Amino acid sequence: MRTKLGVGIVCGIAAMSAVTLTSAQTYTFERSFTGVTRLDVSTHRGKITITASDEGPVVVTGTITVRRGLNMPANSAQLAGGVSDHPPVRQQGATVELRPPDDPLVDRIVSIDYDVRVPPATTVVAVNDSGAVTVEGIAGSVSVRTQSGNIEVTLPPATPVTLDATSGSGAVEVDPGILKGTVEKGRARGTVRCGGVALQLTSKSGAIRVK
């Protein structure tokens, strides 16, 4: 009986340790910028969500998640807190740039979800390796590129658009009645409301949807 009880206690401790290693800590930050006409986002992981709002400042909300597991430094939480205090976000003239952490170690142990509200006419460039990218209501030109992350774009209600969407192995879908052009396996090309601002969407293996 004592032997069996001891094994049970050890197994319980091991299970608790596994939960501790895989649980995630999160930190958030918010920054706002004025005089912005272009948003440039590039990251390796984490979601990118870009939404048109009323004319006004660009508001960036970042959620930093500490990745847990083997080979992670003991001070991971402290390093993530440093990113929250000094996020990789800056304004260069009329462009706001959002990036992954500069330090390769910090970049390995955290992911950043970017949620950005911008004026409708903002030009948007977004690059994400494995995270999803969602763009809603942007009337400026939009370029999105991912490796494996899915891309979803909701078009503004009255903006003429010229669409070119391509995925190497993911599905490409355009809601019925929107596009004058062609939708075939892995690609959609054509115009919305006779064509206008460029909407270029590219993924190596992620799905693409335009609605």
The residue extents of the domains of the chain are 24-131, 142-211
Query: What is the reported pLDDT for 7?
Result: 42
pLDDT band, very low/low/confident/very high, at 54 (cuts 50, 70, 90)? confident
When comparing pLDDT for 94 and 4, which is higher?
94
Give the mean model confidence (pLDDT) for residues 86-90: 97
- The answer on pLDDT for 135 being more than 60 is yes
For 138-155, what is each residue's pLDDT tens digit? Answer: 999 999 999 999 999 999
H or E element that contains 66: strand 58-66
Residue 48 Cα to chain centre, angstroms: 2
Across the range 58-69, mean pLDDT stands at 91
pTM of the model: 0.87
Over residues 172-188, mean pLDDT: 96
Residue partners of 192: CB distance under 8 A and separation at least 6: 155, 159, 160, 161, 162, 163, 178, 179, 180
Residue 203 pLDDT class (50, 70, 90 cuts) = very high
Beta-strand relationship, 151-154 and 133-136: parallel
Q: For tokens 């075939």, what's the residue?
A: 184
Q: What is the model's pLDDT at position 70? A: 64
Count of other CB atoms within 10 angstroms of residue 97: 15
| Average pLDDT over the chain, rounded to an integer | 89
Is the backbone of residue 80 left (phi > 0), alpha (psi -120 to 50) or beta? alpha
pLDDT at 53 (0 to 100): 94
- What pLDDT is attached to residue 24? 66
- Average pLDDT score over residue span 134-138: 98
